[in-house]
Amino acid sequence: MARPRKIGSIEIAQDLDFQRRSWKVQRIGWATMVLICVAALLGVCGGGPISSAQLGEEGSPLRAEYDRFLRRDAPAKLTLYVGAAAMRPDSTAEVWLDRTWLEDMEVNSITPEPEQTRTTASQVIYTFHLDPSSTPARLTYNLTTHSLGAVTGRVGLSNGPSYSFPQFSYP
């Protein structure tokens, strides 16, 4: 225990100077906790207005919605919108994702299911059969992140634009 002093008739290890500093630190700590909560609500820690981002303009053959901030071992989502211009005559579209990025993700589901998946050294290519009358077609990848720190994902169409999107994964 800390060394006791005599205050009046009682021996007690009180230290008012330390206590006053403690209270100050405590108040600062509380303010920090509130700031953390506010930042989290805004999406700085993943999921929220600051975190969601879009790539590609309206009308582009490929648009993507992704989260700038992810959390490790937590669900993540990547939504792609494929326009009519990207579709081939047989109503399929080929979308590729960066292989290194995908290797650190667990793919829980892809809606709709791709017809075919093939890989190259740096890409995983998904072939989707889409309905030409309802475009842009929405493709949803439900993922679980297993990466940590800054990562860069890449997505593109075999016959169209490609984008890279930087993300940060919190532990």
φ/ψ of residue 72, rounded to 5? -60, 140
Dist. CA 102–CA 122, nearest whole Å: 10
Residue 150 binds another protein, judged by CB under 8 A: no
Closest CB to another protein among 25 and 39? 25
Q: Is residue 10 involved in binding another protein (CB under 8 A)?
A: yes
Query: Terminus-to-terminus CA distance in the chain, angstroms?
Result: 37
Task: Report the C-alpha gap between 130 and 61 in whole angstroms.
Answer: 13
Determine, following the binding rule CB under 8 A, whether residue 15 of this chain makes contact with another protein. Answer: yes
Burial of 140: CB neighbours in 10 Å, binned 0-12, 13-18, 19+: middle
Identify which of residues 54 and 144 has a Cβ nearer to another protein in the complex. Answer: 144
Which x/- pattern over 17-36 shows residues binding another protein (rule: CB under 8 A)?
-xx--xx-xx--xx--x---
Specify the residue, 71 or 77, whose C-beta has the smaller distance to another protein: 71
Q: In what order do the strands lie in the sheet containing 62-67?
A: 52-55, 62-67, 75-82, 137-145, 105-111
Q: Which of 12, 34, 38, 42 binds another protein (CB under 8 A)?
A: 12
What are the residues binding another protein (CB under 8 A)?
1-3, 7-10, 12-16, 18-19, 22-23, 25-26, 29-30, 33, 73
